[in-house]
């Protein structure tokens, strides 16, 4: 389903679910213009109407427990990565936990909202924003870039959307078949800054460390002089300087 304008495709899908209407696994809602798109850490996502992909996918991964939520994050991140890899090749990386980077610039991100029933995930609403044909970014959008800015040509949004959906489905089926180690190892191998000595900030302190691993539950493992330490999303900042 394509909407001309919506506050947020994730909110739209969650509203349908809250009306207790059955929504098929794999339902995709795409917006030409999203005026209140949301990202991680309560960030807003700004996109020029008609130039970029802003869409949400509904999955019903009842085979996953609440403890396995991050495996879904991995699967979705890698689905987007695989769809873009033929275009962007080895400069493409996944910035933990689920931003899509080209070099040191962000081309996409996602917000995954899971609805639990007991200890299992009943529904997962996956919102994805990807900069495709936008060339100008407002001041304050930081290090944003787009596929067009990188490759200097326009791309058909629906084609990229179809590639992303089919690749996410492939990883989703890996999880369904219990191939967690395969998904976890592949995700780790594609991480931005993996095994590189870099600067981070936590609790107001700047330090050097090396990303070594991501725990099963999604915590980031950074090796410091004092040994390995784990961080969740709100506890660590990557310093690009």
Instruction: Please check whether residues 122 and 75 belong to one and the same domain.
Output: yes
Residue 33 has pLDDT above 90, yes or no: no
Q: For 111-125, write each residue's pLDDT tens digit.
A: 999 999 999 999 999
pLDDT at 138: 81
Residue 44 has pLDDT above 70, yes or no: no
Instruction: Mention every residue, 6+ apart, whose C-beta is less than 8 A from residue 100.
Output: 77, 80, 81, 84, 92, 93, 94, 106, 107, 108, 109, 130
Instruction: Please check whether residues 86 and 182 belong to one and the same domain.
Output: yes
Residue 151 lies in domain: 2-189
pLDDT at 2: 79
Q: For 124-155, write each residue's pLDDT tens digit.
A: 999 999 999 999 888 777 799 999 999 999 99
**Mean pLDDT for all residues in the chain:** 92
Instruction: Please check whether residues 49 and 101 belong to one and the same domain.
Output: yes
Please state, as a whole number, how many other Cβ atoms lie within 10 Å of the Cβ of residue 2: 12
pTM (predicted TM-score): 0.93
The answer to whether residues 103 and 119 touch, using CB atoms and an 8 Å cutoff, is no
Pick the residue with more confidence: 47 or 89?
Answer: 89
Torsion of CA 82, 88, 90, 96, to 10 degrees: -60
Nearest to 158 by CA among 130, 134, 127: 130
If one counts the domains in the chain, the total is: 2
Number of Cα atoms under 13 Å in the Cβ half of residue 234 = 3
The answer to whether residues 9 and 34 touch, using CB atoms and an 8 Å cutoff, is yes
Instruction: Mention every residue, 6+ apart, whose C-beta is less than 8 A from residue 199.
Output: 206, 207, 208, 239, 241
Instruction: Please check whether residues 173 and 223 belong to one and the same domain.
Output: no
Average pLDDT for 144-172: 97
* Phi, psi torsion values for 201, nearest 5 degrees: -135, 130
Pick the residue with more confidence: 1 or 171?
Answer: 171
Of 17-21, 157-161, 180-184, 223-227, the one with minimum mean pLDDT is 17-21
Instruction: Please check whether residues 181 and 207 belong to one and the same domain.
Output: no
pLDDT at 153: 96
How far apart are alpha carbons 189 and 186 in whole angstroms? Answer: 5
Instruction: Please check whether residues 58 and 136 belong to one and the same domain.
Output: yes
Q: Provide the β-strand partners of residue 200.
A: 207, 238
Of 57-71, 132-146, 210-224, the one with minimum mean pLDDT is 132-146
- With bands split at pLDDT 50, 70 and 90, how would you rate the model's confidence at 241? confident
Nearest to 59 by CA among 108, 106, 128: 128
Beta strands 2-6 and 28-34 are: parallel
Pick the residue with more confidence: 196 or 33?
Answer: 196
CATH number of residue 225's parent domain: 2.30.30
Instruction: Please check whether residues 51 and 158 belong to one and the same domain.
Output: yes
pLDDT at 4: 76
Instruction: Please check whether residues 56 and 113 belong to one and the same domain.
Output: yes
Instruction: Please check whether residues 234 and 171 belong to one and the same domain.
Output: no
> What CA–CA distances, in Å, run from 45 to 2, 57, 85, 90, 136?
18, 17, 23, 25, 15
Instruction: Please check whether residues 89 and 205 belong to one and the same domain.
Output: no
Instruction: Please check whether residues 175 and 202 belong to one and the same domain.
Output: no
Instruction: Please check whether residues 181 and 204 belong to one and the same domain.
Output: no
CATH number of residue 66's parent domain: 3.30.930.10
pLDDT at 38: 53
């Amino acid at each position: 389903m394509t909407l001309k304008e919506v506050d947020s495709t994730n909110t739209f899908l969650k509203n349908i679910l809250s009306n207790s209407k059955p929504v098929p696994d794999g339902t995709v809602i795409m917006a030409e213009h999203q005026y209140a798109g949301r990202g991680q850490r309560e960030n807003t996502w700004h996109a020029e109407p008609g130039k970029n992909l802003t869409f949400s996918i509904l999955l019903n991964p009842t085979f996953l427990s609440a403890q396995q939520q991050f495996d879904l994050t991995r699967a979705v991140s890698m689905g987007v990565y695989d769809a873009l890899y033929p275009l962007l090749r080895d400069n493409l990386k996944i910035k933990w936990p689920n931003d899509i980077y080209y070099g040191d610039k962000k081309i996409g991100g996602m917000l995954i909202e899971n609805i639990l029933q007991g200890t299992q995930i009943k529904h997962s609403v996956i919102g994805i924003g990807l900069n495709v044909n936008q060339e100008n970014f407002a001041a304050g959008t930081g290090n944003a870039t787009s596929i067009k800015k990188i490759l200097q040509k326009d791309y058909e949004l629906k084609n990229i959307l179809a590639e992303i959906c089919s690749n996410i489905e492939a990883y989703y089926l890996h999880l369904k078949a219990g191939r967690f180690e395969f998904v976890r190892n592949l995700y780790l191998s594609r991480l931005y800054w993996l095994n590189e000595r870099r600067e981070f900030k936590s609790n107001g302190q700047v330090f050097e460390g090396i990303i070594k691993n991501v725990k099963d539950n999604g915590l980031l493992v950074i090796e410091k002089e004092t040994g390995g330490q784990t961080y969740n999303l709100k506890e660590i900042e990557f310093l690009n300087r």
